[in-house]
Amino acid sequence: MAGLTGTPYDSGGSQRDRTLIIEIAWSWLRYQPEAKLSLWFKERFGSGGKRMRRIGIVALARRLLIALWQYLEHGLLPPGAKLKPA
C-alpha cells in the first residue's frame, strides 16, 4: 500500500479523509526544506493560495513516492535530502 486510500480523521465536528502519502509530503516540506522536491514545490506552488497548495501537495506526494521508491530499491537518496545521523 502506498497510502493512497483514506484513513478517517476526526477533528471536532469535521470529518475528512487524509491519505498517508499526503501527510508524508507535508512532513517532507517541513523537515527537508532544502531538498530539490521541496524547492520545486515552493517555486511552483508557494506563492499560490490554499487551493493551489492543495493541488501542489498531491503533485509533490506523487513525485516523493517515486523518489522514495528509488531510495528503497536502488539506494538513491532524493537530491538535496539529508539523512539524520542515528
How high is the pLDDT of residue 17?
Answer: 55
Task: With respect to residue 54, please indicate whether it lies within any of the assigned structural domains.
Answer: yes
Strands 14-19 and 6-11: antiparallel
How high is the pLDDT of residue 20?
Answer: 87
Q: What is the mean pLDDT of residues 16-22?
A: 76
Task: With respect to residue 42, please indicate whether it lies within any of the assigned structural domains.
Answer: yes
Task: With respect to residue 5, please indicate whether it lies within any of the assigned structural domains.
Answer: no
Picking from 21, 35, 34, 5, the residue whose alpha carbon sits closest to that of residue 66 is 21
Range of the domain at 18: 10-74
Q: What is the pLDDT of residues 36-76, one digit of tens each?
A: 999 999 999 989 899 999 999 999 999 999 999 999 999 99
Task: With respect to residue 84, please indicate whether it lies within any of the assigned structural domains.
Answer: no
How high is the pLDDT of residue 9?
Answer: 59
Tell how far CA 16 is from the center of its chain: 18
What is the Cα–Cα distance from 60 to 57, expressed in whole angstroms? 5
Task: With respect to residue 41, please indicate whether it lies within any of the assigned structural domains.
Answer: yes
Is pTM beyond 0.75? Reply is yes
